Amino acid sequence: MTAQRGREARTSARAAASAQLGPETRAESWQRLGKETFDLVVIGGGIVGAGTALDAATRGLRVALIEARDLASGTSSRSSKLFHGGLRYLEQLEFGLVREALRERELMLNRIAPHLVKPVSFLYPLTHRGWERPYTAAGLLLYDTMGGARSVPGQKHLSRAGALRMVPALKRDALIGGIRYYDAQADDARHTMTVARTAAHYGAVVRNSTQVVDFLREADRVSGVRVRDVESGQETDVQAHAVINATGVWTDELQRLSGSRGRFRVRSSKGVHIVVPRDRIVAESGMILRTEKSVLFVIPWRNHWIVGTTDTDWNLDLAHPSATRSDIDYLLEHVNKVLATPLTHDDIEGVYAGLRPLLAGESEETSKLSREHAVARVAPGLVAIAGGKYTTYRVMAADAVDAAAVDVPERVQESITDKVPLVGADGYHALVNQADHLASDHGLHPYRVRHLLDRYGSLIGDVLAVADGRPDLLKPIEAAPDYLRVEAVYAATDEGALHLEDVLARRTRISIEYPHRGVDCAEQVADLVGDVLGWTPEQRQREVEVYRARVEAERDSQAQPDDEAADARRVAAPEARDRLTEPVS
């Protein structure tokens, strides 16, 4: 037994030397799944699952992270892309949640992911004289003193004229003044993938396109899972001391598959966002607007604005929640109440819908369901975690590992992820200062280098090395010139992308940032990725056809009047991973 553990430790040490998630690593990881006994198997490649794998790996545990589709393919690529304290939760008196989230925001900005998480300002337009300014200022002061102002500037009060100078797009009669405050934002899919790569760097097996099809048992305890490689159809048993169900909106489905009774229930709330060009709203700051139900954000996003979100119950397909015409109309109606030049459907370049995994409460209104998280040991060897919000993923992960520790035979160390930068963070600030020199060395414009630094941080050298001897890879992708061709290749060599959709929808955000939604560059990207993954001409053609069908189905669903009609249109599109079975987790 000691010799076996020694061999496993040496295997883990080799794996820990690299955060690369490429074809060779994928083949090796399949062998490890079938041969090793893990302390923890984490199911779910969203931010909570990735964070849990990182937490466990940095405590010295042997961990495997498995995801049926792609990293961040669910909720974790479809958020408002904010690392925020949750200003509106102050009104709901959830002070603990806000304080916790603000601390996490500060850690991300200053230590854990400064290359990925950036400050972003918002204007809060004031519409009532007398009470509203002191009321809002008091809330923002609490926000600042709970931890907000330590990493970003504090609130600034503006007259109507000052607010209009900051956001000229506003109607003059839409406000009497304003308050500017700061939060933070990140590309959620890229951040999640980077957390998973960091877990791999510390020895975790990280594998997408790997579906749990059954749970293994020894007497009354869960002792592992049976998984299927949905690319090849192969199956293997994975032995583990404990399994953590971190599947978000799929939590209840996995509980049923395990045969264990859940301790809590998860409800799905659909949030829809639209993406419009930056020049459609003339402003130097984002905005937060009150609605009759919640709040509406107008968020700066590179050359675009993201406008969202809705908050409605969803009981249909969990993998592909669909935005409807009425969802889009709702967003346009509310943002146009304050804009001097209204947005129209023709202005919209991207649309996406995601599902929040909320803990079910007594209220039927999803906006009032708890954003707190819950962890439960639902059976010996099986832990479930759900709820929470993206910003607090690291806290959720630590709680999940703590709950599973009782099933791990060795002593489990305390969580240290508050001290562990993500890959690409170390050296990032120095490289920013050297951006002009890097640009000159590689024949790139400095803004290109800064774009790469804000996506890859200090891994920029690895990205550019892929283009050694291939200067054509340093040219922009045709029809998506914000991205270089080398980024598509790197997505397959190092970032675990296995399908065209993975690259266009998550490793890049071409699917929501261009009016063609990736269709016009699908063939070129398929050729770049196919060279790495060994696709035949027939495979390349299928990838392009499946992606085009996805976009067509999404566009069709977004013209439908209700959820049922939109869902029927969207689920009709073929899956890139066509060996998936239900339940999908």
pLDDT of residue 16: 39
Q: Is 17 exposed, middle or buried (0-12, 13-18, 19+ CB in 10 A)?
A: exposed
234-290 tens-digit pLDDT: 999 999 999 999 999 999 999 999 887 777 889 999 999 999 999 999 999 999 998
Q: Flag whether pLDDT at 3 surpasses 60.
A: no
Nearest C-alpha neighbor of 353 from the set 386, 309, 316: 309
Percent of the chain with pLDDT over 70: 94
- Phi-psi bin for 388: left (phi > 0), alpha (psi -120 to 50), beta? left
Q: Which residue has the tokens 């049926």?
A: 68
Nearest C-alpha neighbor of 425 from the set 192, 92, 109, 59: 109
* Structural contact between residues 520 and 514, judged by C-beta atoms closer than 8 angstroms: yes
- Residue 378 three-state SS: strand
Alpha-carbon torsion angle 326, 332, 334, 338, nearest 10: -170
Quote the pTM value.
0.94
pLDDT of residue 295: 87
* Structural contact between residues 449 and 486, judged by C-beta atoms closer than 8 angstroms: no
Q: Which residue has the tokens 């000159």?
A: 440
Q: Is 449 exposed, middle or buried (0-12, 13-18, 19+ CB in 10 A)?
A: buried
| Distance (Å, whole) CA 479 – CA 428 | 29
**Homologous superfamily of domain range 1-74+190-261+376-419:** FAD/NAD(P)-binding domain (3.50.50.60)
Q: Flag whether pLDDT at 157 surpasses 90.
A: yes
Q: Which residue has the tokens 């708890």?
A: 370
* Structural contact between residues 333 and 322, judged by C-beta atoms closer than 8 angstroms: no
DSSP tag of 94 = -
pLDDT of residue 583: 64
pLDDT of residue 148: 61
The whole-chain average pLDDT of the chain stands at: 92
pLDDT of residue 262: 73
Rounded-to-5 percentages of helix, strand, coil across the chain: 45, 25, 30
Which helix (H) or strand (E) segment holds residue 192: the answer is helix 188-201
Q: Flag whether pLDDT at 298 surpasses 80.
A: yes
Q: Flag whether pLDDT at 64 surpasses 80.
A: yes
Range 76-80+90-187+267-368 has CATH code 3.40.50.300: no
Structure tokens given for 264: 């809590």
Evaluate the omega torsion of the peptide bond into residue 561 and state whether it is cis, within 30 degrees of 0: no
Q: Is 181 exposed, middle or buried (0-12, 13-18, 19+ CB in 10 A)?
A: buried
Mean pLDDT of 368-375: 64
pLDDT of residue 291: 83
pLDDT of residue 564: 97
Sequence ranges of the domains in the chain = 1-74+190-261+376-419, 76-80+90-187+267-368, 467-572
Q: Flag whether pLDDT at 344 surpasses 70.
A: yes
Q: Flag whether pLDDT at 66 surpasses 90.
A: yes
Q: Do domains 76-80+90-187+267-368 and 467-572 have the same CATH topology?
A: no
Q: Flag whether pLDDT at 2 surpasses 50.
A: no
pLDDT of residue 122: 96
Q: Flag whether pLDDT at 486 surpasses 70.
A: yes
426-446 tens-digit pLDDT: 999 999 999 999 999 999 999
- Residue 520 three-state SS: helix
CATH of domain 467-572: 1.10.8
Q: Flag whether pLDDT at 361 surpasses 70.
A: no
181-199 tens-digit pLDDT: 999 999 999 999 999 999 9
Residue 419's pLDDT band (cuts 50, 70, 90) = very high
Q: Flag whether pLDDT at 17 surpasses 60.
A: no
pLDDT of residue 369: 38
Question: Which of the pair, 78 or 7, is modelled with greater confidence?
Answer: 78
* Structural contact between residues 357 and 387, judged by C-beta atoms closer than 8 angstroms: yes
Chain length of the chain? 585
Residue 471's pLDDT band (cuts 50, 70, 90) = very high
> Strand runs (DSSP E) across 72-148, as ranges?
82-83, 118-126
| Distance (Å, whole) CA 190 – CA 466 | 19
| CA 127 vs CA 92, 458, 496: distances in Å | 21, 45, 48
Q: Is 217 exposed, middle or buried (0-12, 13-18, 19+ CB in 10 A)?
A: middle
Contacts of 434 (CB under 8 A, 6+ apart): none
* Structural contact between residues 302 and 482, judged by C-beta atoms closer than 8 angstroms: yes
pLDDT of residue 152: 86
Residue 4's pLDDT band (cuts 50, 70, 90) = very low
Q: Which residue has the tokens 């291939």?
A: 470
89-148 tens-digit pLDDT: 776 667 777 888 889 999 999 999 999 999 999 999 999 998 889 888 888 888 787 766
| Distance (Å, whole) CA 585 – CA 577 | 13
